[in-house]
Chains A and B, each alone.
Chain A
Amino acid sequence: MTTPFKGRDVISILDFTRDELEVLFDAADKMDKFMHRGYVPKLLTDQVVSLAFFEPSTRTRLSFELAAKRLGAVTIGFAAEESTSVAKGESFADTIRMLDAYSDIIIVRHRYEGAALFASEIAESPVINAGDGRQHHPTQAMVDLYTVLRLFGTIDGLTYGVLGDLRYSRAASSFILGLTRFKPSKVYLIAPPLLKPRPEVKMVLDRMGTPYEEVDSLRDVIHELDVLYVVRIQKERFPDPEEYERVKGSYKVTLKLVEERGKDSLKILHPLPKVDEVDPALDNSKYAAYYEEARLAIPLRMALLALISGVEV
């Protein structure tokens, strides 16, 4: 079942059916071809895209900005450092109202969970959630799923491992939720006890009947994986620094571990930026898919902007 994209808000990856995501991936393929050819039709000429980043971001903001500009749109907005002076103590709701008056699409990132949904209730223009606190990052999940599709030709039937801070990482949560729209063979959730997925995320897995298992160690399951999705574990999440020191080794991906125990065809994804959770020795290996993933963010976000604007792709 597909609802037209035109004018839609993008708040959670669960707002989209499998069929709709496939429409999006097809459009992303076309955008990627345009870019390879070096000619991108200016589908968004005269459109204004607002980038309202109340929370720091480099990659997501740049990729949205580039996606909008390549399609001929005008972008306005602010970054976290400027957001306090933009707002000057005004409410989030009022800032959104101002942007709504100026723009055709509003892209918002905020540290409060639910900020994007609230913005979508205020604004008449469609709102795209570029991250709300620890909750959702739907366009990252779209990029991640699209990357898997490009690498394997399918999202179904694969075994996934999602590794790291699955409790506070919105990218990890959104990826897990996104997988429930497909038919993965199995999803391993690999996290220390304090950083296991939130109950509301597991509730969706249960309801959708997605096969999953929570495990403590990557080592035990890496041989089964086709896709390993890694997010960072932040030291600050641990009340006790010793606990962090004790567990961090179990959540680090090393070239040695991958070569010894991983499948030859294993691909590693990461929403970036990565710090030390992935061994830099993997960066140039056949296993690393995160740079391709970062590249595919552009055609995917171009496709999404075009579809939301209602133009023919």
Chain B
Amino acid sequence: MGGEGEGLLVRRIRDGTVIDHIPAGRALLVLRILGITGAEGYRIAVVMNVESRKLGRKDIVKVEGRMLERGEVDKIALIAPEATINIIKDYRVVEKVKVRLPDEIKGILRCPNPTCITRKEREPITPVFRKVSEKPLILQCKYCGTLVREEEIPGLIT
């Protein structure tokens, strides 16, 4: 886990979660999807644009004091399909998993279609997208049927 460049910037964490192999420039979006604002009080390190053998350049997010659950982390596959989740205990990686996008994504994304019922004001409704293809990643709005391609996703995160 981690590269040399990153080691120079941030020290290792004792207990918590390290999200590695995030495409360069998307670390803040990852935090947004996870609903982590910084106000929670955890120590958070965001490392951006470090060298990666796999991705060329990558971002890394470290959250100290919090073990992220599989279910809450999988959503980040929307924008970081290659991301790995490392659970750290006492400075050691005790668990390492790749994210896997769930078949249904509730919330997080806004439907790009302005006349989708999920865009109507004051209605008690949450957008839901279904995965219709993995590679290339294509999602479909459950309500209006609109297809969303991978490259549109970062712009639709709420």
Binding site for B on A (CB under 8 A): 91-93, 110-115, 117-118, 132-135, 198-200, 203
Indicate whether B158 reaches chain A with its CB closer than 8 angstroms: no
Q: How far is the CA of A199 from the CA of B144 in the complex (A)?
A: 12
Rank and list the top 3 A-B pairs by shortest CB-CB distance, nearest first: A114-B143, A113-B144, A114-B117
Chain A's closest residue to B121 (CB) is A91
Chain A's closest residue to B111 (CB) is A114
B142 to chain A: which residues have CB within 8 Å?
114, 117
Q: Given A93-B123, A93-B124, A111-B115, is A118 in contact with B145 using a C-beta cutoff of 8 Å?
A: no
Identify 28 residue pairs between A and B in the complex whose beta-carbon atoms are under 8 Å apart, listed by A's number. A91-B122, A92-B117, A93-B124, A93-B125, A112-B115, A112-B116, A112-B117, A112-B120, A112-B144, A113-B113, A113-B116, A113-B117, A113-B144, A113-B146, A114-B116, A114-B141, A115-B117, A118-B117, A118-B123, A118-B143, A133-B115, A134-B115, A135-B144, A198-B145, A200-B140, A200-B145, A200-B146, A203-B132
> Chain B: how many interface residues by the 8 Å CB criterion?
20
Indicate whether B45 reaches chain A with its CB closer than 8 angstroms: no
Indicate whether B118 reaches chain A with its CB closer than 8 angstroms: yes
A199 to chain B: which residues have CB within 8 Å?
147
Query: Distance in Å from the Cβ of A70 to the closest Cβ of chain B?
Result: 32
Q: Given A114-B143, A135-B144, A203-B132, is A91 in contact with B124 using a C-beta cutoff of 8 Å?
A: yes
A134 to chain B: which residues have CB within 8 Å?
115
Contact assessment for A92 and B147 in the assembled complex, using a CB-CB cutoff below 8 Å: no
Contact assessment for A117 and B124 in the assembled complex, using a CB-CB cutoff below 8 Å: no
Query: Distance in Å from the Cβ of B151 to the closest Cβ of chain A?
Result: 14
Q: How far is the CA of A221 from the CA of B124 in the complex (A)?
A: 47
Q: How far is the CA of A110 from the CA of B146 in the complex (A)?
A: 17
A200 to chain B: which residues have CB within 8 Å?
140, 145-147
B119 to chain A: which residues have CB within 8 Å?
112
Chain B's closest residue to A204 (CB) is B145
A112 to chain B: which residues have CB within 8 Å?
115-117, 119-120, 144
B123 to chain A: which residues have CB within 8 Å?
91-93, 118
Chain B residues numbered 87-134 whose CB sits less than 8 Å from any CB in chain A: 113, 115-120, 122-125, 132
A117 to chain B: which residues have CB within 8 Å?
117, 142-143
Mark B14-50 against chain A: 1 for CB-CB distance below 8 A, else 0.
0000000000000000000000000000000000000
Query: Distance in Å from the Cβ of B40 to the closest Cβ of chain A?
Result: 32
Query: Distance in Å from the Cβ of B149 to the closest Cβ of chain A?
Result: 9
Query: Distance in Å from the Cβ of A234 to the closest Cβ of chain B?
Result: 16
Query: Distance in Å from the Cβ of B106 to the closest Cβ of chain A?
Result: 13
Q: How far is the CA of A132 from the CA of B143 in the complex (A)?
A: 10
B124 to chain A: which residues have CB within 8 Å?
91, 93
